[in-house]
Amino acid sequence: MKIEPSLKMSIFQPAIFGELKAAAEAKKATGAGLFDLSLGSPDLPPDEKVRRVLSEQSLQASAYGYTLGGTKRFHEAVANYYKRRTNVILDPDTEIIQTMGSQEGLVHLPLAFCNEGDIVLTTNPAYIAYEAGIKLAGAVPYEMPLRAENGFLPDLDAIPEDIARQAKMLILNLPGNPVPALPDAVFFDKVVAFAKKHNIIVLHDAAYSEYYFSGDAPTSFLSTPGAMDVGIEINSLSKSFSLAGARIAYIVGNAEVIRIFRELKSNLDYGTFGPIQEAAVTALDHAEEITDRLRKEFSQRHKVLMEGLAEIGWTVTPSNGGMFVWAKYPYDMDDKEFVFKAIEKCGVVMVPGSVFGSEGVGYVRLALVQDVETLRKAVEQLSNFNVVVEA
């Protein structure tokens, strides 16, 4: 029997993370130290209160039925969280929908709103799930470069008028993955005006909204005047509450967008496990306490890695938030070649920037998923890279 993939499978390329893991395991097998800064999977456990609720609820015999979506308690917890943290008022019944992690929502959203050949405005570099969702819907990505001269924010003025007229959706991720740029209110005002002019749905991926290290929290797109008319915001409990494996997230914003996406979701799944939803409610209700502790730890990690890389001659993208450091290494090497050589010679695992788009060539992404001392050791290992390569 000959088994062949569908033609649509050609849009999906094997993720590099498997190759990175194999190279890391080979290095580890030699007995050498390994410093894995590749995957953005939080190393800190969920808060004890959250784990206790998940454990207790999972013991209930009645907890194992379909939930058919977000529970009333979950929707209300999200609405209360948004009111406290962003001053945005949401209707729990019409302006909130639960997804099974943010990636599920990001990949499926274009299916609900894009026809074959429609244009979706996205960034370069960008989180790889965006392109997967765009191409799965048969839409066409139009890439907006993120460059230092624009503060690593997309330049909406540079989008040709004919492209803007054809666009159905604009995807933003601030602070982002892989580039942790932070917008201000002026930028989001411009986004709303642009979206209204061209009748474009705005999707703001706010996965790292609680990852800020000084001053005020990043601005919620939905707090911008007029944003609820044109857009939605997606957020996950994976990062902010260390619930990555639990796969629970939500989309909030424009009621008509939520209604249409709910129709699609009703054909895709039967909802997230009830005890996970109850654990998520506990996390959201205690967000201030939990995320304050998280920020204290990640702020120290961010400082150590940013300053350490700068001291050894790397060009580090300025940032005050996010879960990653985006940096240019000082060697004349292809970024993929550099990453695998760094694993072999230094035991430091990073992600090559070109994985996220052509604007990422010559950069690497480093995740803040190790403690401060481990990050210091990783920087020390990288400081010897030039020496070991020349040898």
Question: Which of 120-134, 148-162, 212-226, 373-387 is least confident?
Answer: 212-226
What six digits make up the tokens of 138? 């048969």
For the cut 80, the answer to whether the pLDDT of residue 105 exceeds it is: yes
pLDDT for 7 beyond 90: no
What confidence tens digit (pLDDT) does each residue in 222-253 have? 999 999 999 999 999 999 999 999 999 999 99
Residue 335, classed as helix, strand or coil, is helix
Say whether pLDDT at 391 is over 70: no
pLDDT at site 118:
96
Whether residue 153 contacts residue 181, with contact meaning beta carbons closer than 8 Å, is answered with: yes
* Mean pLDDT, range 131-155, rounded to an integer: 95
Whether residue 258 is predicted with pLDDT greater than 70 in this model: the reply is yes
- pLDDT grade for 15, boundaries at 50, 70 and 90: confident
More confident residue, 93 or 8: 93
Q: Tell me if 370 sits within 8 A of 378, measured CB to CB.
A: yes
pLDDT given at position 390: 56
CA-based diameter of the chain, in Å? 64
Which of 271 and 184 is assigned the larger pLDDT? Answer: 271
Mean pLDDT, the chain, whole residue set: 94
CA distance 234 to 134: 16
**pLDDT of 389:** 58
Portion of the chain with pLDDT greater than 70, in percent: 99
Q: Regarding predicted confidence, which is higher, 362 or 17?
A: 362
Q: What is the pTM of this model?
A: 0.94
Q: Is the pLDDT of residue 388 over 70?
A: no
Q: How many residues does the chain have?
A: 391
What pLDDT sits at residue 387? 55
Q: Domains along the chain?
A: 7-45+289-385 (3.90.1150.10), 63-286 (3.40.640.10)
**Stretch 257-273: mean pLDDT, rounded?**
96
Cβ distance 243 to 237 under 8 Å? Answer: yes
Averaged pLDDT for residues 359-370 = 97
Quick one: tokens of 157? 């003025």
Residue 26, burial from CB neighbour count under 10 angstroms (0-12, 13-18, 19+): exposed
pLDDT > 60? residue 132 = yes
- The pLDDT of residue 357 is 96
pLDDT (average), residues 36-57: 95
Mean pLDDT, rounded, for 171-182: 93
Which pLDDT does position 12 carry in this prediction?
81
Helix (H/G/I), strand (E/B), else coil: 141? strand
Q: Which residues contact 377 (CB under 8 A, 6 or more apart)?
A: 33, 35
Out of 20-29, 81-90, 207-216, pick the least confident. 207-216
Instruction: Give SS3 for 367.
Output: strand
Q: Are 166 and 134 in contact (CB under 8 A)?
A: no
Give the number of other Cβ atoms within 10 Å of residue 57's Cβ. 18
For 8-17, 134-143, 167-176, 248-257, which range has the lowest pLDDT when averaged over its residues? 8-17
Is the pLDDT at 65 greater than 70? The verdict is yes
Task: Flag whether pLDDT at 378 surpasses 90.
Answer: yes
Task: Identify the CA nearest to 361 among candidates 335, 326, 327, 339.
Answer: 335
pLDDT exceeds cutoff 90 at 339: yes
Sign of CA dihedral 311, 317, 320, 321: negative
